[in-house]
A and B are shown apart, each in its own frame.
Chain A
Amino acid sequence: MSRERTPPLPSSDLRARVLAEIAREPAPPRATAAARRTLVQAALAAGAVVLFFATSHVHPGERPGGVLFGTTLTAALLAVVLTRGASGAWPSDHVSMLPPSTSRLSGIVMAAFGVLVLVAFAAVLLAGPFVEVEPATMRTHLACGGLAIVQGVLPFAALAWPRGGSDPRSPALTGAALGAAAGAWACMLAWLRCPHVEVAHGVLAHALPALVLSGFGALVGARLLRLR
């Protein structure tokens, strides 16, 4: 009894069709595409910096230098880790053309908000003895939080644009994770420009925008990142 079997094969006509279509629609090789991506990402990052200085400035207020430095640096480190995590570059266990697993992406969203809330508490604990705190009003929360969201849009664009149309699995979740990473960058900028050292303000106006940007990322990502 023969055990050999012939697996089904696509027609030779399909091969010719695919090759013809590819010839009609050339795609740039890696070096060219990478140069374009870098250029656009650099422009968007520069735009984020310009927007920061156009809408605000570094304002320590009554905060000791250590608090300003500590909160900003912690948010920046978190932003770097989340950016690399959301884009699959860290941890570098293996490289992939696909976004990280859904559990990792969900973890990034939760970690972003959780760590930024902790930073808000830590800032108050560190600065408490030194700073006369005048309670921020709801209007202050809204203005500062709104600015953080606006300042997070360009970092999100810089993170999401190169991945446009490439996610075959969970574009909304990938967008949410990228939004959370952008939120961490926005929170870093918020700690640079905002002199209010208060838990409620830190949570509502600095950490919560990361969650809002994550939701924004999910909405935009579902369309922008979806496989096309």
Chain B
Amino acid sequence: MVVACEIGGYASTAFGRDMTAAVPEASASSDDTTLLDRAMDRYAAGDDAAFEEVYDRLAPRLFGHLLRQTRDRSRAEDVVQQTMLRIHRARGRFVPGARVIPWAFAIARRLLVDSHRRGGREVLSVEDDDPFAEVASIDAPADDVAAARELAQRIGDELARLPENQRVAFELLKQEGLSVAEAAETLGTTAAAVKLRAHRAYEALRAALGVRGGEKA
């Protein structure tokens, strides 16, 4: 079931471990994050060309997050575009040493909520991107791919049933690879609260999938 581990960024193997193992390694993307922060700082200081680096380092992460939330490629791109514009407009306010990732994710989440409230489009449109479609591109036996697809679908369903604050904390840590501190900053809460919410989400998912996985096995 290694294939399933990769679907949608979930590390399902972590369900058998301690919660500390379920929190992604902050160092995995810390270099990239540091380079992003530096690029934004250069942009704020007046280096116009640095915005391209900010875009290249930030937009794919935002897009991945938004695509998972919306399952609509054009809508995700629209929110990425609006987020990058807000970041550009706030150029003169950027505080040296501030982190770009929590700020950008908070902006993107707000824009997404606002666009949803305006009632434009259906949130879960499946006409464009199926987030599980990437499984099909994995070079694996068809049975494994089908099982992985099914597990991914179940994880998605279980996540959707979780309380909003638990689901979001879990997604930011597990799917987006934010550190606990970054997730706390994004959500405007404490690191302890984020850990607790993610842990509860993790336990709920583990219980739900464990029972059904056992039945399946």
A interface vs B, CB < 8 Å? 1-11, 14-15, 17-19, 21-22, 25, 27-34, 36, 94-103, 162, 166, 168-170, 227
Contact = CB atoms under 8 A, between A and B. Distances in A.
B90 A101 contact: no
Contacts of B187: 169
Contacts of B63: 8-10
Given A1-B140, A10-B80, A96-B103, A30 B6 contact: no
B96 A5 contact: no
B78 to A, nearest CB: 9
A11 B138 CA distance: 21
A5 B103 CA distance: 27
B190 interface: yes
B89 A27 contact: yes
Indicate the size class of the contact surface on chain B. 35 or more
Given A2-B140, A32-B92, A98-B102, A7 B60 contact: yes
A27 B44 CA distance: 9
B28 interface: no
A96 B101 CA distance: 10
A1 B2 contact: yes
Contact of B85 (A22, A28, A31): A22
A168 B91 contact: no
B55 A15 contact: yes
Contact of B88 (A15, A27, A98): A27
A185 B14 CA distance: 52
Given A8-B64, A97-B103, A18 B81 contact: yes
B99 interface: yes
Nearest to B90: A166
A99 B98 CA distance: 12
B134 A5 contact: yes
A95 B95 contact: yes
A114 to B, nearest CB: 22
Given A3-B2, A5-B6, 18 more contacts: A2-B139, A2-B140, A10-B60, A11-B77, A14-B77, A19-B51, A21-B81, A27-B88, A30-B91, A31-B45, A33-B91, A34-B92, A97-B103, A98-B103, A99-B188, A100-B188, A103-B189, A162-B93
A14 B73 CA distance: 11
Given A8-B63, A10-B77, A168-B109, A97 B94 contact: yes
Nearest to A32: B92
Nearest first, the 7 A-B pairs at minimum CB distance are: A33-B92, A168-B110, A97-B103, A29-B46, A10-B63, A2-B139, A27-B91
Contacts of B134: 5-6, 8
A210 B139 CA distance: 65
Contact of A2 (B90, B93, B100, B138): B138
Interface string B57-95: 001100110010000010011001100111011111111
B139 A1 contact: yes
A170 B51 contact: no
Interface in B15-62: 44-46, 51-52, 55-56, 59-60
Contacts of B151: none
A101 B60 contact: no
Given A14-B59, A18-B81, A96-B102, A8 B110 contact: no
A162 B93 CA distance: 9
A3 B148 CA distance: 12
A8 B129 contact: yes
B95 to A, nearest CB: 5
A72 to B, nearest CB: 31
Contacts of B129: 8
A96 B56 CA distance: 22
A32 B46 CA distance: 10
Nearest to B186: A98
9 contacts: A1-B2, A1-B138, A11-B77, A14-B77, A30-B45, A95-B95, A97-B95, A99-B188, A227-B111
B175 to A, nearest CB: 11
Contacts of A4: 138
